[in-house]
Amino acid sequence: MGIGPHTDSWLENTRLSYDTVAASYADRVRSLLDETPEERTFLALFADLVHANGGGPVADIGCGSGRITAYLRRLGADAFGIDLSPRMVEVARRDHSGLRFELGSMTELALDDGSMAGLVAWYSLIHVPDNEISSVFRHFHRVLRPGGPLLLSFHVGDESKLHTQGYGGHPMKLYVHRRQHDRMAAWLSDAGFAVEAHQTLTSAESTLGGIIVARRRSDTE
């Protein structure tokens, strides 16, 4: 089954690829936050914004092995994880027992309107093709409370590259999309978000990574 940046098979390929590499992925990224102080600063800023807006549940969308979910919990956020890959969810539950992780897709979030105090998508938008991003951001807008913060991280650039091998040398079959800040900001604005802060950085997370903190605008803005 062939794939391209705009084909309908990207979700299934993402699910299958991360099912295949889940254990190796968890081993590879487990200690990354120890090496990334700037990322920790943004996560702390996000947690502070959630608290300042009244607190409440925070969804880590595309949580993978659950490391960001667990870190947010240590910061005092009522965080839980959602991931497309059943095997990733199993690994997250194994590595972070007692925390909540569930299956789900950012393209069809099974969350009530306005029920989330905050959302995080930590390098989990990188496999979403351009023609699906706006729909994903509309889902984010729907489930967030007015004023609720959204934290995004992504790879910065202009190209899309097919990856056929991943963590631990296991086979994968999915595209990684790199984007510029202005393009992400335009998609966010169209979906009803206001960008509050952004930064480009190089770290153990990405050779050229982008971080955006946005908030859900109210319907009257």
Tell me: the pLDDT tens digits for 165-176? 767 677 778 889
Q: Tell me what pLDDT residue 98 has.
A: 94
Examine residue 79 and state whether it is found in any structural domain, yes or no.
Answer: yes
Return the DSSP state at 169: G
Q: Is 1 part of a structural domain of the chain?
A: no
User: How much is the pLDDT for 8?
Assistant: 60
Q: Per the domain annotation, does 209 fall within a domain?
A: yes
Q: Is 2 domain-assigned?
A: no
Phi, psi (rounded to 5 degrees) for 27: -65, -40
The DSSP H or E segment spanning 166 is: none
pLDDT range class, residue 164, cuts 50, 70, 90: confident
Q: How many residues does the chain have?
A: 221
Percent of the chain with pLDDT over 90: 86
- Which of the four pLDDT bands, split at 50, 70 and 90, describes residue 1? very low
Q: How far apart are CA 22 and CA 9, in angstroms?
A: 20
Q: pLDDT for 36-79, tens place per residue?
A: 999 999 999 999 999 999 999 999 999 999 999 999 999 999 99
Q: State the number of CA atoms in the 13 A half-sphere of 143 facing the CB.
A: 23
What pLDDT digit, counting tens, does each position of 109-162 carry? 999 999 999 999 999 999 999 999 999 999 999 999 999 999 999 999 999 988
Q: Which residues contact 94 (CB under 8 A, 6 or more apart)?
A: none
Examine residue 45 and state whether it is found in any structural domain, yes or no.
Answer: yes
3-state class of 92 per DSSP? helix
- pLDDT tens per residue, range 170-193: 777 888 999 999 999 999 999 999
Amino acid 98 reads G
User: Which H or E run includes 37?
Assistant: helix 37-52
Spatial CA neighbour of 89 closest among 104, 77, 109: 104
β pairing state of 209-216 and 149-155: antiparallel
The residue segments making up the domain with residue 152 are 10-216
CA atoms within 13 A on the CB side of 64: 23
Mean pLDDT of the chain, nearest integer: 92
Q: How many domains does the chain have?
A: 1
Instruction: Indicate whether 4 pLDDT > 50.
Output: no
CATH code: domain of residue 61: 3.40.50.150
* Nearest-angstrom CA–CA distance, 136 and 107: 5
pTM exceeds 0.85, yes or no: yes
Q: Are 147 and 193 in contact (CB under 8 A)?
A: no
Residue 167 C-beta-side C-alpha neighbours within 13 Å? 15
> Is 165 a member of any domain?
yes
5/31: higher pLDDT = 31
Using CA atoms, how far apart are residues 156 and 151, in angstroms rounded to an integer? Answer: 15
Q: Is residue 221 part of a domain?
A: no
